[in-house]
Amino acid sequence: MRAPSMALGVLVLVLAAGSGPAAFAQRADDAAAIRRQLERYTTAWNKGDAKALASLYDVEGAITSASGHTVQGRDALEKGFAEGFAGSSKGSRMTAIVGTIRFLKPDIAVVEGVWELSGLRGPNGKEMPPVKGLSLAVYVNKGRQWLLAAGQTMLPAPASPAAPVI
Protein backbone atom coordinates (compact mmCIF):
# COMPACT_ATOMS: atom_id res chain seq x y z
CA MET A 1 0.00 0.00 0.00
CA ARG A 2 3.01 2.25 0.45
CA ALA A 3 3.80 2.44 -3.32
CA PRO A 4 0.53 4.18 -4.34
CA SER A 5 0.89 6.81 -1.61
CA MET A 6 4.53 7.36 -2.66
CA ALA A 7 3.43 7.75 -6.29
CA LEU A 8 0.78 10.24 -5.21
CA GLY A 9 3.41 12.20 -3.30
CA VAL A 10 5.68 12.33 -6.37
CA LEU A 11 2.75 13.45 -8.54
CA VAL A 12 1.94 16.26 -6.11
CA LEU A 13 5.59 17.40 -6.17
CA VAL A 14 5.68 17.34 -10.00
CA LEU A 15 2.43 19.33 -10.23
CA ALA A 16 3.62 21.79 -7.62
CA ALA A 17 6.89 22.29 -9.48
CA GLY A 18 4.93 23.24 -12.60
CA SER A 19 3.04 25.91 -10.69
CA GLY A 20 5.97 27.37 -8.81
CA PRO A 21 7.28 30.93 -8.86
CA ALA A 22 8.65 30.63 -12.43
CA ALA A 23 5.28 29.44 -13.77
CA PHE A 24 3.45 32.25 -11.95
CA ALA A 25 5.95 34.81 -13.24
CA GLN A 26 5.48 33.55 -16.80
CA ARG A 27 1.70 33.73 -16.44
CA ALA A 28 1.98 37.33 -15.17
CA ASP A 29 4.23 38.19 -18.13
CA ASP A 30 1.72 36.62 -20.54
CA ALA A 31 -1.20 38.48 -18.95
CA ALA A 32 0.73 41.75 -19.29
CA ALA A 33 1.47 40.94 -22.95
CA ILE A 34 -2.23 40.34 -23.61
CA ARG A 35 -3.11 43.65 -21.93
CA ARG A 36 -0.55 45.38 -24.18
CA GLN A 37 -2.22 43.78 -27.21
CA LEU A 38 -5.54 45.29 -26.09
CA GLU A 39 -3.84 48.70 -25.79
CA ARG A 40 -2.53 48.26 -29.35
CA TYR A 41 -6.05 47.31 -30.44
CA THR A 42 -7.65 50.45 -29.04
CA THR A 43 -4.80 52.62 -30.37
CA ALA A 44 -5.20 51.16 -33.88
CA TRP A 45 -8.98 51.60 -33.70
CA ASN A 46 -8.69 55.20 -32.56
CA LYS A 47 -6.29 55.95 -35.43
CA GLY A 48 -8.60 54.23 -37.92
CA ASP A 49 -5.70 51.93 -38.85
CA ALA A 50 -7.31 48.81 -40.34
CA LYS A 51 -3.98 47.16 -41.20
CA ALA A 52 -2.59 47.53 -37.66
CA LEU A 53 -5.89 46.33 -36.19
CA ALA A 54 -6.00 43.22 -38.40
CA SER A 55 -2.35 42.43 -37.60
CA LEU A 56 -3.39 41.74 -33.99
CA TYR A 57 -5.40 38.72 -35.18
CA ASP A 58 -4.14 35.25 -35.99
CA VAL A 59 -4.07 34.59 -39.77
CA GLU A 60 -7.34 32.64 -39.42
CA GLY A 61 -8.67 34.84 -36.61
CA ALA A 62 -12.33 35.78 -36.49
CA ILE A 63 -14.65 38.26 -34.87
CA THR A 64 -18.39 38.05 -34.41
CA SER A 65 -20.12 41.37 -33.87
CA ALA A 66 -22.98 42.00 -31.50
CA SER A 67 -25.30 41.85 -34.53
CA GLY A 68 -24.11 38.30 -35.27
CA HIS A 69 -21.98 39.12 -38.33
CA THR A 70 -18.76 37.05 -38.46
CA VAL A 71 -15.61 37.95 -40.36
CA GLN A 72 -12.80 35.40 -40.54
CA GLY A 73 -9.23 35.70 -41.75
CA ARG A 74 -6.77 38.54 -41.34
CA ASP A 75 -7.25 39.85 -44.90
CA ALA A 76 -11.05 39.87 -44.58
CA LEU A 77 -10.77 41.55 -41.19
CA GLU A 78 -8.53 44.28 -42.60
CA LYS A 79 -10.99 44.87 -45.45
CA GLY A 80 -13.93 44.97 -43.04
CA PHE A 81 -12.20 47.37 -40.66
CA ALA A 82 -11.18 49.62 -43.59
CA GLU A 83 -14.78 49.73 -44.83
CA GLY A 84 -15.99 50.59 -41.33
CA PHE A 85 -13.41 53.35 -40.91
CA ALA A 86 -14.47 54.80 -44.27
CA GLY A 87 -18.09 54.73 -43.15
CA SER A 88 -19.95 54.68 -39.84
CA SER A 89 -16.83 54.11 -37.70
CA LYS A 90 -14.86 57.00 -39.20
CA GLY A 91 -13.46 59.09 -36.36
CA SER A 92 -14.95 56.82 -33.69
CA ARG A 93 -13.16 56.26 -30.38
CA MET A 94 -12.83 53.01 -28.46
CA THR A 95 -12.04 52.39 -24.84
CA ALA A 96 -11.67 48.87 -23.47
CA ILE A 97 -10.95 47.34 -20.12
CA VAL A 98 -9.82 43.77 -19.44
CA GLY A 99 -11.94 42.12 -16.78
CA THR A 100 -10.40 38.66 -16.50
CA ILE A 101 -7.74 36.62 -18.23
CA ARG A 102 -7.97 32.84 -17.80
CA PHE A 103 -5.27 30.58 -19.19
CA LEU A 104 -6.75 27.36 -20.55
CA LYS A 105 -3.28 26.19 -21.57
CA PRO A 106 0.08 27.97 -21.49
CA ASP A 107 -0.53 29.22 -25.05
CA ILE A 108 -4.33 29.79 -24.97
CA ALA A 109 -6.14 32.45 -22.94
CA VAL A 110 -9.76 33.53 -22.65
CA VAL A 111 -10.18 37.25 -22.02
CA GLU A 112 -13.37 38.92 -20.85
CA GLY A 113 -13.83 42.66 -20.79
CA VAL A 114 -15.95 45.71 -21.41
CA TRP A 115 -15.75 48.30 -24.17
CA GLU A 116 -17.29 51.56 -25.28
CA LEU A 117 -17.46 53.09 -28.75
CA SER A 118 -18.23 56.75 -29.18
CA GLY A 119 -18.45 58.83 -32.32
CA LEU A 120 -20.21 56.20 -34.44
CA ARG A 121 -22.41 57.59 -37.20
CA GLY A 122 -25.92 56.45 -38.01
CA PRO A 123 -27.28 55.99 -41.55
CA ASN A 124 -28.27 59.67 -41.53
CA GLY A 125 -24.65 60.68 -40.85
CA LYS A 126 -25.41 62.00 -37.37
CA GLU A 127 -23.36 60.94 -34.38
CA MET A 128 -25.03 58.25 -32.30
CA PRO A 129 -24.88 57.98 -28.50
CA PRO A 130 -21.95 55.92 -27.17
CA VAL A 131 -22.40 52.15 -27.31
CA LYS A 132 -21.22 50.02 -24.38
CA GLY A 133 -20.77 46.27 -24.46
CA LEU A 134 -19.01 43.15 -23.33
CA SER A 135 -16.35 41.15 -25.09
CA LEU A 136 -15.10 37.61 -25.00
CA ALA A 137 -11.88 36.79 -26.81
CA VAL A 138 -9.59 33.81 -27.26
CA TYR A 139 -5.91 34.63 -27.59
CA VAL A 140 -3.25 32.20 -28.82
CA ASN A 141 0.48 32.55 -28.32
CA LYS A 142 2.18 32.19 -31.69
CA GLY A 143 5.92 32.63 -31.82
CA ARG A 144 6.02 34.54 -28.53
CA GLN A 145 3.23 36.90 -29.64
CA TRP A 146 -0.32 36.79 -28.33
CA LEU A 147 -2.82 37.06 -31.20
CA LEU A 148 -6.60 37.11 -31.30
CA ALA A 149 -7.93 33.77 -32.54
CA ALA A 150 -11.59 34.60 -31.95
CA GLY A 151 -13.55 37.47 -30.52
CA GLN A 152 -17.18 38.21 -29.85
CA THR A 153 -18.76 41.47 -28.85
CA MET A 154 -22.07 41.57 -27.01
CA LEU A 155 -24.57 44.21 -26.10
CA PRO A 156 -26.18 43.51 -22.73
CA ALA A 157 -29.95 43.23 -22.79
CA PRO A 158 -31.80 45.85 -20.76
CA ALA A 159 -32.29 44.75 -17.17
CA SER A 160 -35.58 42.99 -16.57
CA PRO A 161 -36.93 41.54 -13.36
CA ALA A 162 -38.13 38.52 -15.36
CA ALA A 163 -34.74 37.89 -17.01
CA PRO A 164 -33.25 34.52 -16.09
CA VAL A 165 -29.94 34.51 -14.28
CA ILE A 166 -27.48 31.87 -15.45
Query: What does DSSP assign to residue 119?
Result: S
Local structure of 80: helix, strand or coil: helix
pLDDT for the residue numbered 55? 98
Closest CA to 114 of 53, 69, 156: 156
pLDDT per position as a tens digit, 18-67: 445 566 567 999 999 999 999 999 999 999 999 999 999 999 999 999 88
Q: What values do phi and psi take at 124, rounded to 5?
A: -85, 0
Report pLDDT digits (tens) over 5-32: 444 333 333 333 344 556 656 799 999 9
147-158 exposure pattern, b = at least 16 Cβ within 10 A, e = fewer: bbbbbbbeeeee
Domain ranges of the chain: 25-154
Q: Does domain 25-154 have CATH number 3.30.590.10?
A: no
Average the pLDDT over 114-132 and give the result. 95
Given this model, what pLDDT does residue 5 score?
Answer: 43
